[in-house]
Amino acid sequence: MDEKIAPHLEELTRALGDLEKTGIRAEFDKLLAFRVSPEVAKETLLRRFGGKRKILKVKDLSASLKNFEITGRILDIGEKALRPQEGGKEGSSKLYTGVLADETGPVMFSSWKELPGSVGDVINIKNAYTRIWQNRIRLSIGEQSLVSKIYDSSLPQLSELSKTPAKKLIDIGAADFSVSTTACVLQLSHKEVPVRGKQSKVISGVLADETARLPFTAWVELPGIDIGSIIRIEGAQIRMFRGMPSINLVSSTKVSLVTTEEAEKLAFTFESAAKDPAPLKIEEIASRDSMFDV
């Protein structure tokens, strides 16, 4: 190692931890390549990644936070290609989105850089920030964020973090992020949509129980499930569209058929759920944030 830069790297290591795993060494080398002096490069990185960074849990997140550190386990992740804007850089960019969770709860995230992990892995994020997207807090990982994979984390396992509260359809609303429920399939249709340059099948329809009806979308196959099936859903994501909650079945969602014996104990059947909804007064509708098929 060059004797001129060694003291600066040692100081960065003491302040920021493992420079190789966090990517800070690569940032340091980039600055040197632009003929920035080692002293200035060190101070730049300390300001960017050091300082009074807070270590937060998911429950601590709120709108417009900046420069904080958080550790979580990836519950779901996907990517999509974005078309370049006019006058921008040539070629498409990728946006990675998914769900990160710790022992205090889950949060949706978006990242403009590929993450060093997949579903089930624990990652540490430095210089993260938050923003509001579709009335929900979203954890954002930008180009200046440092992300590293943690191999010896004490966080609960994926199976534990993936557990979600069971709710009736009428109780699902904008405050919910992930839920479990039991319902029957009233409507179901298949269509193909372009995803990352390929045609992918998407299943959409309507679910119902004795309390309400809600639309659903499945980005995964649902073998053996059709109109009339009564299904148990664990870990579905709730998305808001025009103020209406929609149940989204993703790769981490578990979907299974309810057995005949179990179905007999439910408060609804396909026949009862398929009946026209009972008439409501305007004041009853106005008292709720949203209702579907009334």
pLDDT tens digits, 1-46? 577 898 888 888 877 777 887 788 888 899 999 888 888 888 888 7
- Give CA–CA dist 285/261, Å, rounded: 35
* Spatial separation of the C-alpha atoms in residues 284 and 294, rounded to whole Å: 11
User: Which of 84-93, 156-165, 183-192, 210-219 bottoms out in mean pLDDT, i.e. has the lowest?
Assistant: 84-93
pLDDT at 1: 55
The H-assigned helical ranges of 200-294 are 260-264, 270-273, 282-286
Average pLDDT over residues 50-58: 76
Burial class from Cβ neighbours inside 10 Å (0-12, 13-18, 19+) for residue 177 reads middle
* pLDDT above 80 for 116: yes
Alpha helix (H) residue ranges in the chain: 6-16, 19-22, 24-33, 38-49, 158-161, 260-264, 270-273, 282-286
Q: Which of 113, 117, 116, 109 is nearest to 140 (CA)?
A: 109
50 confidence band (pLDDT: 50, 70, 90): low
134 alpha carbon, distance to own chain's centre: 13
Entry pTM:
0.51
* Measured distance CA(23)–CA(43) in Å, rounded: 16
Residues 81/91, Cβ–Cβ less than 8 Å: no
The residue ranking higher by pLDDT, 241 or 60, is 60
Q: What is the mean pLDDT of the chain?
A: 85
Please tell me the distance from the alpha carbon of residue 245 to that of residue 147, in angstroms, as a whole number. 32
| Arithmetic mean of pLDDT, 214-225 | 93
Please tell me the predicted confidence (pLDDT) of residue 174.
63
Residue with tokens 């003491």: 14
What count of other Cβ atoms lies within 10 Å of the Cβ of residue 213?
20
Asked whether the predicted pLDDT for residue 51 surpasses 70, the reply is: no
Tens of pLDDT, residues 64-115: 888 899 999 999 999 888 776 555 555 558 899 999 999 888 888 999 899 9
What pLDDT does residue 88 have? 52
